Structure 1
Amino acid sequence: MVSTILMFGLNHLSIWHLVLIIGFIAVTKDVEIRFNRKDLGWMVCFILLNVFSFYMNPPKQLDYEMVLAVLRVGFYFSLFKIVTAMTAKNMLYHIEGLLSNWQKTQFLIMMILALLIIYFPLLLAFSPGNMYIDSYSQWGQAMGGIPLSDWHPVLTTLLMKLSYKLIGTPVVYTWMQVMGSIMVLTYFSKQLLDLRLKKSYILLVVFTILFTTLLLSNMVTLYKDNLYNLSLVLVTLFLVRIYFIEPTWLQHWSSKIIFAFNFNVVLLGRHNGFYVGIAFLVIWFLFSFDKWKDVAIIMVLTALIFMGYHTLLNQRYAIVPGSPSEKYSMVLQHIGAGVDAGKPLTEKQNEFLDQILPRATWQEKYTPVMIDPVKFHQDFNKEFINTHQKELLKNWLTIGQQYPLLYLRAELQQIRPLWDVNGWEHGLPGTQMFHYMINSPKAYYDPYLQHYDFAVEPLRNLIAEWSYQQAPHDGVHKPFITSVASVSILILFASSFSVIFSKRWTYLLILLPSLLHLGTLCLAMPAYNIRYILAPVITSMMLAIIFKVVSTKALISS
């Protein structure tokens, strides 16, 4: 509680976070905490992680950040101890006190209404839908002003087009995102009810997810990642249902069809989703054992839906292929690190890189956290990359052999949200704070929709002003929400190692969709934006409480 109050006083926590934490303390007041030697090891690891974070990215106000780091260590350590110390007495309903089906239904209806009430001011302020960066060009494709291409996932573009055909604005698509998030959180609540978790804990977890993951602002913004993130979370919750709650769930044809349709949103909803989905299905089939027939049917249904979608798509639309150069973001990031550092290269390497972009421009535009300033420079020669892909990879490999540590540093900088517990401050709008997605320049809309205005401008301005006060984006103050993201991801990885060492393979299977997603980001795509890692962040929070409840119930039964 002391850490919480001090962090709030230093403007690191918003008022919503303060209320949530006070609620958490109130709900868990009966939990008995005991310390042991292992706790010292966890604390040392977290301290070393902070030291590494400061070394990689020295903050602008070292004293201020060091004070915050100490407070965060105390806060997260206390949170960890409370969660691990919870027992069945604290968090589970007794058998004789179980809720009836009608009581569960009432609670879920109240949950839906509460979530709608929370979303309503945002929908009112930003209807028919907020836009940012990629949203502009994708909405332009949906309206027909820009040729339809696979630069953005075509599935989400077509859903936006449907919204445009129906009422001329993206409001239908915005509501799809909002209702999708409400459905996911409600289904998660149902899982916890079926696991006998008390309603107070369920409310606490759901609202923590809602207010600490940018879920609210993301779902009223036309982001191509949103439906993919929600579908990936649903895959995880379906697995929880199958392996921890209702083993016969997958035997029903309706369940198989729902799973297959949702899985196609994973395959089609994001460019890396295809690889994540295929890898997961193959691994699941190989290790499904007694469920292999059901998994095989899901694979067939998924393939049929996927092929049917592409058949109809190719008959109806002429899709312009995206530039192959787009898939080399990480390659260019690594090479750019070498150029920016002024490392000596061979004459042939310099000549090759100059064909892509003059060396001076490489050094001027390169940033450690994203390659976009290089890729979208007017002199960037993506056509040269498209016709010399093998040579690009060859040069990338040879430069990497010369400077492997430089590549490693560039990789770590690119995926900072996965490990940087102090938050990151690269200044990319829309990454960290609510208000940078809210303050979208009106001029971007003009080519696509001449008279586009937010529904209630004063409310929008009020929220924007308030959010600036809560988290000023000045390169000095790092919002609490960025450390929440990285700690969530680190918990996901720590849980994975733990279940591997303890040989709890079912737990690992449930973690697998999120791990595969993170793996593809590390290998081929930038991960500098919270929306890219939204699904794993949400999943880690959900599974933290689910795994705790399941393990506690297992102790009771044994």
Structure 2
Amino acid sequence: MKTTKNLSRKRSLPSWASVLLCAAAGMACAMAFVMAQSGYVGLSLPPAASTSYLWTALGVCFGWLLWQAWGKAGRRPGLAALGFGLLFGLVNSLGTTLFAYDTWASLGNLPGLALAVLRVLGQGLPMAAAITLVDRALQGGLLIRATAGLQGDPGTSRSIPPPAEFSQGRLIRLRTFVKAHPTLAYALLFLLAWSPYLLVFFPGTLSWDMGEMLAQYFGLREMGTWHPVFTTWVLGVCFQVGRLFHSDNLGTLLFMLMQSVVLAFSMGYAMTCLGHLRPKRWVRLTVLAFYTLIPIWGSYAQFVCKDTLYTAMVLLMTLQTLRILRDTNPMGMGGLLLYALSALLCCLLRNNGLYIALPTALLAVLFGTRGRQRLRLGGVLAGAMALALGFSGLLLPSLGIRDQQASGLYSVCFQQSARVLRDHRQEVTSEEYDAIDQVLDAVNLPTLYEPWISDPVKYTFRLFGQGAVEKAALRSYQKAWFQMLAKYPLTYLEAFVAGNSAYYAFLPKLEGATYNNQAGNRFVFEMHPQISTNLGVHTAYVMPGKLRDLTAILARGFRHIPGLSLLYCCAFYTWLLVAAGVSLGRQRRWRDLIAFVPALLSFATCLLSPVNDYFRYYLPIVAVVPILLAFAAHAGEKMPDQPK
């Protein structure tokens, strides 16, 4: 009786009224996403008309979200969920508006500003509800079994019944092997699942960047730091071995197999760690299906690029960070070495890897450990970071390899200058124009500028590797850049958001030509025919072209399946991580947020990257999301030792 009275006080509306209110609010929120077709210039299919049944379906979904989050139990929105929901409404509204009309000019008048505020509120409310539901699922036992602690260690032989209890059949021996070596078993399963891609695209799809790196390795181009030198050397060694047998296909195959095995191992280790978090069966099967059946991983396993190995290292570093945060026992030497190796390779395999590995290492040592464990972990990670810094700061200059990263580091700034010249050329002073023209082709920047990719602009950089001359010109450019920032802050912000909005806003699929068809790209199945003629690399597919085309169509087709298409959307993973972070905060597990640092910093590098909505840049985040969600749901105290 008392409980009934309390519930009646808690619910301020009858259930039928709450349902109607949620339904009406859902429809209103759906209309907040409608984009006017008049004046639309976005590089996509035209937006759906406001009378389309699509918005009705979306309104029903939003109404259901609101009902489940708050209406069903008469709850009030939490401040954290509401705050991040409104943040989503703001960035999503700004990002989609800029994509659609290439300007925020409509915000310059009172009616336009009022409409924008309504759009922010309407788009933010469903996200607040979604964050609330994710938090509730993570804390409410939907993902993790309710146990007092870990019941044994499923990654060790202690969980295997004595041999006398088994028959000697093949199935039983297989089961014994899987229990004794779960990481290896999962890795073999992943390789088997990805084998159609490895075979159909045999010996592997060589990216244009890797072709350029091979040209550097074999002396056809000047060696520089535009591409990661360590990766260049590893790739070059594979091709040297291949050329011993007069086959560049063999060199491609060696690198492809190496990265596939490493990626499979890292994901096998992730599945082992997931098992120790005690997930429910449906969670483990869902994550297993994600790593095996979704075309993302088979496609990137066969794609010879800089990102597959790097993704594996970010995943391994994240997993070792989880172990540091969870394991009450000191990490063994094998685990410490794996942590140090993954952090070191993060720095060497990509030029921006240091900005992910170094902060993660510092936070893990300072706040993730204590006592002697802190000294041991700090020692191995300090050694790894010292090797990485010595490689780039001492070894490469001593070998005469010039630093060519300036145009990449200034990528966002160059885009902002190009947009100012496009939109405000008559207002730019001669001094500002000359400072830009010293480093870039100022005359052609307005026509070269593409909002979603900076390559056309940054490739006009005039001073690659010119040392003191380059530094002096960049100092003049920096001065002009800051002067123009004060004059054109909105244009600068437009250029920044236009270059990265798809990483946090739900933009439509890009349809149309961009520079080298990179912006919005998910997979690169096609070999570049010019590689063999321009870069001295001779690779060729073995399987029939029609089979490759069919496989590519099937892989890309996932993007057109309702629901599954979200798995190809960068913003979907971003806001899942936000929801998991909110849940950790509500659980007061602030220390555990260290595990999210590699993903957070990877997201930051995407914001500063030269291409918008470029999936290979975002790939490390996609890889770590399943294990981070399970970690956010698990408040236990132990993780496994090094993989078996």
TM-score (normalised: structure 1): 0.78
Residues 176, 481 of structure 1: alpha-carbon distance in 2 compared, 3 angstrom cutoff: farther
Q: In structure 2, do the counterparts of structure 1 residues 453 and 527 end up closer, same or farther at CA, with 3 Å as the change threshold?
A: same
Which deviates more from structure 2 when the two are superposed, residues 393-402 or residues 456-465?
456-465
Q: CA separation in 2, counterparts of 1:241 and 1:96? A: 17
The match for 2:235 is: 160
**Matches of 1:78 and 1:311 in 2, distance apart?**
46
Work out which of the residue numbers 530, 535, 539 in structure 2 matches 1:452: 539
Q: CA deviation at 1:369?
A: 1.4
Counterpart of 1:57 in structure 2 is 99
After superposition, the C-alpha distances for 1:44-84 in whole angstroms (9 at most, x for unaligned) are 77666654443222289xxxxxxxxx999989967973783
| One-letter amino acid matched to 1:84 | R
* Distance of 2:612 and 2:205 partners within structure 1: 22
| Residue 175, structure 1, aligned to residue 257, structure 2 | yes
For residue 391 of structure 1, the aligned residue among 455, 472, 476 is 476
Cα distance in 2 for partners of 1:118, 1:97 equals 29
The match for 1:513 is 598
Task: Say which SS state the counterpart of residue 438 (structure 1) adopts.
Answer: coil
**Paired amino acid for 2:337:** I
Partner of 1:371: 454
1:267 aligns with 2:347: yes
| Change beyond 3 A, Cα 1:457–1:316 | farther
Alignment partner of 1:461 is 2:549: yes
Kept in 1: contact 2:88–2:127 (CA 8 A): no
What CA distance in whole angstroms lies between the structure 2 residues aligned with 1:47 and 1:308?
Answer: 44
Superposed displacement of residue 163, structure 1: 1.0
Aligned mate of 2:145, from 69, 92, 100: 92
Distance 1:405 1:200, change over 3 A: same
Return closer, same or farther for 1:202/1:529 CA change in 2, 3 Å cut-off: same
Change (3 A) 1:49 1:552: farther
Aligned-residue offset at 1:393: 0.8
Larger mean Cα displacement after TM superposition, 194-203 or 326-335: 194-203
- Asked if the contact 2:95–2:498 (Cα under 8 Å) also holds between the matched residues in 1, the reply is no
Could you tell me which runs of 5 or more consecutive residues in structure 2 were left unpaired when the two chains were aligned. 1-44, 46-67, 103-121, 161-175, 244-250, 639-644
Query: Mean Cα displacement is larger for which, 391-400 or 192-201?
Result: 192-201
Instruction: Tell me the CA shift for residue 546 of structure 1.
Output: 2.1
Instruction: Report matched runs for 1:476-555 at 5 Å.
Output: 480-481=565-566, 484-496=569-581, 499=584, 503-523=588-608, 528-550=613-635
Q: CA RMSD in A?
A: 4.1
Deviation at residue 139 of structure 1 after TM alignment: 2.9
Higher alpha-carbon deviation: 255-264 or 72-81: 72-81
TM-score after normalising by structure 2: 0.68
Q: What CA distance in whole angstroms lies between the structure 2 residues aligned with 1:550 and 1:186? A: 22
Q: Cα–Cα, structure 1 residues 176 and 96, in superposed 2: closer, same or farther, change >3 Å? A: closer
* Amino acid aligned to 1:151: W
- The CA distance in 1 between the partners of 2:295 and 2:551, in whole Å, is 17
Alpha carbons 1:98, 1:196 under 8 Å: kept: no
**2:213 alignment partner, SS class:** helix
Residue 191 of structure 1 aligns with which residue? 273
Indicate how the Cα distance of structure 1 residues 408 and 503 shifts in structure 2: closer, same or farther if over 3 A, else same. Answer: farther
Q: 1:107 to 1:235 in 2, by over 3 A?
A: closer
> In the superposition, relative to structure 1, how do residues 324 and 457 fare at CA in structure 2: closer, same or farther (>3 Å)?
same
Aligned partners of 1:452 and 1:483: how far apart in 2? 29
**Is the Cα–Cα contact under 8 Å of residues 141 and 633 in structure 2 kept in the other structure?**
no
Verify: 1:123 aligned to 2:198, yes or no: yes
1:228 aligns with 2:303: no
Q: CA deviation at 1:275?
A: 2.8
In 2 relative to 1, CA 386–536 (structure 1 residues): closer, same or farther, beyond 3 Å? Answer: same
Structure richer in helix, relative to its length: 1
Structure 1 contact 499–507 (Cα < 8 Å) conserved: yes
CA distance in 1 between partners of 2:252 and 2:129 (Å): 43
Report whether the alignment pairs 1:81 with 2:133: yes
Contact kept, 8 Å, 2:200 with 2:543, in 1: the verdict is yes
Distance verdict in 2 for CA 1:346–1:230, change over 3 Å: same
The alpha-carbon deviation at position 407 of structure 1 amounts to 1.3
CA pair 249-415 structure 1, distance change in 2 beyond 3 A: farther
Rounded to whole Å, the distance in 2 between the matches of 1:543 and 1:488 is 11
Deviation (angstroms), 1:185:
1.3
Q: 1:552 to 1:206 in 2, by over 3 A?
A: farther
Whether contact under 8 Å (1:417, 1:424) holds in the other structure is no
**How far apart are residue 359 of structure 1 and its match?**
4.3
Deviating more after overlay: 396-405 vs 514-523: 514-523
Q: Percent identity at matched positions?
A: 20
Matches of 1:247 and 1:96, distance apart in 2: 16
The one-letter code sitting in structure 2 at the alignment partner of 1:322 is Q
Paired with 1:281 and 1:134, the residues of 2 have a C-alpha distance of: 29
Q: Which is worse superposed, 333-342 or 491-500?
A: 491-500
CA distance, structure 1, for counterparts of residue 180 and residue 519 of structure 2: 37
Paired amino acid for 1:135 = M
CA contact (8 A) 2:566 2:572 kept: no
Question: Match of 1:55, SS?
Answer: helix
Of the three residues 217, 222, 227, the one matched with 2:299 is: 217
Native 8 Å contact 2:135 2:580 kept in 1: no
Q: Mark the structure with the bigger radius of gyration.
A: 2
* Aligned residues between the structures: 508
Aligned equivalent of 2:381, options 278, 282, 299? 299
2:226 maps to: 151
* Whole-angstrom CA distance in 1 between matches of 2:124 and 2:490: 30
